[in-house]
Amino acid sequence: MEYLVGALGLVCLLLILRLYALDRNLKKGTDQLKDRREEKSAAPLHLSAPHRASEELLSQVNGLLRDGERERTDFRRREQALRQQIANVSHDLRTPLTSILGYLQLLERADITEAERREYLFVVEGRARVLQGLIASFYDLSRLEAGEYPILRERVELREVISELLAAFYDELEGRFHVTVDLPEALPQVWGDRAAMTRVYTNLIRNALEHGADTLSISAAITPEGVKTTFSNGGADLSEKDLPHVFDRFFTSDQTRSGRNTGLGLAIVKALTEQMGAKADAKLDKGTFSVELYWKV
């Protein structure tokens, strides 16, 4: 009987010690959690004594703390990116607006000649078209990123699309570049949206006109995966560290943004190309910048 009472007493003592340890763990974990919240820290919590159930609970709490820290870091990163994007948009909209307002003030002067008046009106019209293009690009990119840009995939004659655009831009290209074109007549049809493809190649030509110089090479080739088109222009103001970012929205190699607008054109190229099930890539070789598009047949 005495042995039984002793054994029960020992069991009770062990249970009391276990409950005490569990209570200490919970209190210490609670105190640590309060400190983490006050310090806004994601440092892991620690037990004062081993206990399997408490360790599992603490492991889950530590996981939540890590998740929360990752979310806060991601939020700060996105907030900073948004602030930078807003600053870039404000700059790019303000530049043509300031020019328009300046020339409108000149037009109010009574001492200007008719030739000067026509010249100022021509400049105002040009700046207004730049502003219109920027606003349209902002809108299109927002629709693309929201998945609201309608894409109708169909079989498209790629050679025909590019040839028509080259004819439309002939005067502008002829005065700026030595142009070489290699579009095989036997190119197969590719999958895409004709209107979206026209927008893609229009943006590539405009990008070359705005940022390129000397040479422009346009080619297409059949590959095992489909058809690859390449637009290459010289005079690219880029470095190797810029290359991974050329398709980023609001990218510009001119960090001072002195008269240079956002990189929305290439961002739209990549977004539209991918929505059509194709792929866009960029390369830089000794000052020659190339955009390669891979289409499925």
Grade residue 292 by pLDDT with cuts at 50, 70 and 90: very high
Identity of the highest mean pLDDT range in 78-92, 162-176, 245-259:
162-176
Return the pLDDT at 6: 61
Residue 171 has pLDDT above 70, yes or no: yes
CATH superfamily, domain 155-295, is Histidine kinase-like ATPase, C-terminal domain (3.30.565.10)
Q: What is the mean pLDDT of the chain?
A: 78
Average pLDDT over residues 151-160: 88
Domain boundaries, the chain: 2-74, 85-145, 155-295
Least confident of 137-146, 167-176, 274-283: 137-146
DSSP code string of 28-73: HHHHHHHHHHHHT--PPP--SS--HHHHHHHHHHHHHHHHHHHHHH
pLDDT 10s digits, 232-242: 988 777 777 88
* Confidence (pTM): 0.62
Return the pLDDT at 261: 46
**Architecture, CATH, for domain 85-145:** Orthogonal Bundle (1.10)
